[in-house]
Amino acid sequence: MGYKILEKIELCPNQYELKIDAPYVTRNAQAGQFIIFRVEEQGERVPITIADIDREKGILTVVFMAVGYSTKKLAMLEVGDEIPDVVGPLGKATEIKNYGTVVCVAGGYGAAPCYLISKAFHEAGNKVHMIMGARNKDLLFWKDKMAKACTELNIATDDGSLGHKGFVTEVLAEIMEKETINYVIAVGPMPMMRAVADLTREKEIKTEASMNPIMIDGTGMCGACRVTVGGEVKFACIDGPDFDAHKIDFDEVINRTRIYKNEEKRRSENCNLIKKADAVASK
């Protein structure tokens, strides 16, 4: 029995939103947790953070960028197709409580999981600033949805095509100058999350980062997703994915991730060849 795709939307170039019939996942899913899918029976296990849930209808929403072999294969599926395996919810949920003023910093497709996180903090009584960042306006998505999930939506683009011209950290610095921030959570590329941690460390603002290292089984057995936090080895799949950003050894995580890039590139190129062959065969 597979998990049927109910809706597919290309949010922006190479980035997709899928709504999946997965009632057993949505029943207990919380903000900050993730699922692991396999797009083929013998395929690799790929983690994706949960973007939204509809408990009543049992619908799971995920957002992903088609960059590697498995995500490109996933992007080739259409409404009505089934995903062989979806396991979750996995990981610890983001700890939601009333801190006072919260900032959610979302880089790239990290904006997707920030929706549920921001919504949960807002419903808990916090003033929530959401900062969404991307290279340009065409890579931003869910802007209206995000605005409803927070108190104030801020946008930053590298080229200045929408919102602040520059990095999300520059917007964060402006907010920090204007008011007292009690909690910050960053979701997105490792360098961005490290930059957020560097910025908030000096003012001792509680800051967490949602870690997305290489992950295989998602249950703490393989150790592939290990990260060093405060000198201790943690597993992102069972101890996280949220960790104290001021204690994470980001250099170690980034260096370990680079090891897998060449192999992923090769598999991605193979997937491109499959797409071309399918296109030729369909003519």
CA-based nearest residue to 32, from 97, 117, 111, 105: 117
Q: What integer pLDDT is reported at residue 82 of this predicted model? A: 92
* Strands of the chain, DSSP E: 3-12, 15-21, 34-38, 46-54, 59-65, 82-83, 85-90, 101-107, 127-134, 152-157, 164-165, 183-187, 206-210, 226-229, 232-235, 242-244
Q: What integer pLDDT is reported at residue 277 of this predicted model? A: 57
Q: How far is CA 255 from the centre of its chain?
A: 20
Per the document, the length of the chain is: 283
Residue numbers in the chain where pLDDT is lower than 70 = 1, 259-283
Q: What integer pLDDT is reported at residue 238 of this predicted model? A: 87
Q: CA 192, 196, 201, 203: dihedral to nearest 10 degrees? A: 160
Q: What integer pLDDT is reported at residue 244 of this predicted model? A: 92
Q: What integer pLDDT is reported at residue 225 of this predicted model? A: 79
Tokens of 149: 């999930």
pTM tops 0.75: yes
- Burial pattern 260-270, b for ≥16 Cβ within 10 A else e, equals eeeebeeebee
User: Could you give all domains of the chain from N- to C-terminal order, each with its CATH number?
Assistant: 3-90 (2.40.30.10), 101-258 (3.40.50.80)
Q: What integer pLDDT is reported at residue 278 of this predicted model? A: 58
- What does the pLDDT look like over 189-208, one tens digit per residue? 888 999 999 999 989 999 99
Q: What integer pLDDT is reported at residue 279 of this predicted model? A: 59
Beta bridge partners of residue 141, listed in sequence order:
none
DSSP string, 87-107: EEEESPPP-----SEEEEEEE
Residues 50 and 62: beta-carbon distance below 8 Å: yes
What whole-number distance in Å separates Cα of residue 61 and Cα of residue 50? 7
Is 145 exposed, middle or buried, given 0-12, 13-18 or 19+ CB atoms closer than 10 A?
middle
Q: What integer pLDDT is reported at residue 97 of this predicted model? A: 94
Residues 182 and 101: beta-carbon distance below 8 Å: yes
Query: Which residue in the block uniquely carries the two structure tokens 């003033």?
Result: 127
CA-based nearest residue to 36, from 77, 70, 87: 87
